[in-house]
Amino acid sequence: MGIQFRKDERFRENFSYVNSDAGVLRFPFPFGEDRYMYSVNIEPHIPGGPTPAFAHAFDIDEHYIAECQERAMVLADDPGRCQVLPHMMPAQWDTLELLMESLAADYPEHFSLDKDGDTWRWINRPLGIDQSFVFGRPETLPCAPFEYITRQAQGDFTLQDQRDDNLFVDGGMVTTQADWSLDFDIGMSFHEWHGPVPLAHETGVFDRALRFLLRLQYGHPVRRLNWTMTINPRLDTSPENYPDWGPDRTTVTPENVAEKVHLRVELQTLFRLPRSNAILFGIRCYLLSLKDIERVEKWRKRLHRVLTTLPPELAEYKGLTRYRDTIIAHLAPHDDGAELSPGIQPDQTVLPPA
């Protein structure tokens, strides 16, 4: 049986966003320990692990259709959210091929790909797409290949060109981002686009991560989790629109904290691409309300401990300063200090009623 896609979800004004119980339990909770600090927490992106979100190269869930619609709305307002520098055309086709082949293999009931030489037929049933085209010929698609396929995927994507022993962010589809601007950062080297991140430069995290990624091999993708928090289930927390969503951060009260505050997790995946030697970086965003997190005993206790011990620079960078204490006060009565199992898995298979 296929995924039951939710219709009529909204990730902006008049928010409408719900996770099923299975959706809550498959959430990639980012804290394997009671304290959080930056690290190069990269592991092989192989199927399996503590969350079903790791089961496939590109995770599709019940929000797929709604997220593709949200992306289309962002692009209609701001086409600059998708940009690729001209020398990256081979990487565009690499991305299209990787996504189409992965989705068709992992979700055959929803996607299929038939090849007859360079003539391909792509069927996306959830979105009602049936497209024949010639691989390598952009004019046979409705738009450029990178934009075409990433409009049909959940999460953001960037393309990293590798040259001069460095990586350059030379393209991307960025509509569900945690406050960074592709339009400003495009063309930057690895350390430049990570420039604003506090604390991590001094500990050498970015030096080590870059060295690791320069050696990334085709066929051996890797993944890591990153996180922040977002008020309301808003996907587009771009710096461009910060004047519109920034005031949300002042609206959190003890009464509404459980509904308003969402843990925002990025499942970050990195794939070496075969023809271009570029790296495709997937940034798949998951939102879970504090109310739903609380239904998992381990997660609510651990989140309380992580927030209590989070360095102030990180809280500031992640934009939590105005409401962190409200969350901690809400969670504290439900944390008895008992030892928790290592790792991110929920340690329960059913949830109490919402």
Partner 1 sequence: MTDQGIKSRPIYATLRRDSSGRRHLYVSAGSGPPPDALAQDGLESWTVAPTTCEGTLPRPEGVGERRFRSTRYLMETLGRRLAGERMGLRLYVEGPEDFLWDVYGVAQAHGLGRQEIFLKQSGTLARRVQCVHCKTFNEGVTTTIVRCAGCGANLFVRDHFSRRLSAFQGVKIDAEQPGDVPQAERAYP
Residues involved in catalysis: 224
Nearer to partner 1, 128 or 243 (CB): 243
Candidate ranges 98-106, 131-139, 247-255, 287-295; the one touching partner 1 (CB under 8 A) = 247-255
Q: Minimum distance between the CB of residue 181 and partner 1, rounded to whole angstroms?
A: 5
Location of structure tokens 């080297």: 189
Q: Minimum distance between the CB of residue 251 and partner 1, rounded to whole angstroms?
A: 10
Phi and psi at 343, nearest 5°, equal 95, 170
Single residue of 250, 253, 341, 348 touching partner 1 by CB under 8 A:
250
Helices 297-309 and 324-331: crossing angle in degrees, nearest 10, is 140
Q: What separation in angstroms does the CA of 273 have from each of 121, 159, 216, 278?
A: 22, 10, 10, 5
Location of structure tokens 């959210």: 81
Q: How far apart are CA 2 and CA 4, in angstroms?
A: 6
Nearer to partner 1, 274 or 312 (CB): 312
Single residue of 79, 242, 256, 316 touching partner 1 by CB under 8 A:
242
- The interface with partner 1 within residues 187-216 (CB under 8 A) comprises 187-188, 191-196, 198, 201
Q: Minimum distance between the CB of residue 161 and partner 1, rounded to whole angstroms?
A: 14
Q: Does an H or E element contain 169, and which? A: strand 166-173
Give, in degrees to the nearest 5, the angle at Cα 251 between 250 and 257: 115
Contact characters 279-318, partner 1, x per CB under 8 A: ----------------------------------------
Q: Minimum distance between the CB of residue 243 and partner 1, rounded to whole angstroms?
A: 5
Location of structure tokens 């870059």: 210
- For the chain, the helix, strand and coil percentages under 3-state DSSP, each to the nearest 5: 35, 20, 45
Closest CA relative to residue 262, chosen from 243, 237, 225 = 237
Contact characters 314-333, partner 1, x per CB under 8 A: --------x-----------
For position 186 contacting partner 1 by CB under 8 A, the verdict is yes
Residues making contact with partner 1 (CB under 8 A): 164, 181, 183-188, 191-196, 198, 201, 239-243, 246-247, 249-250, 322
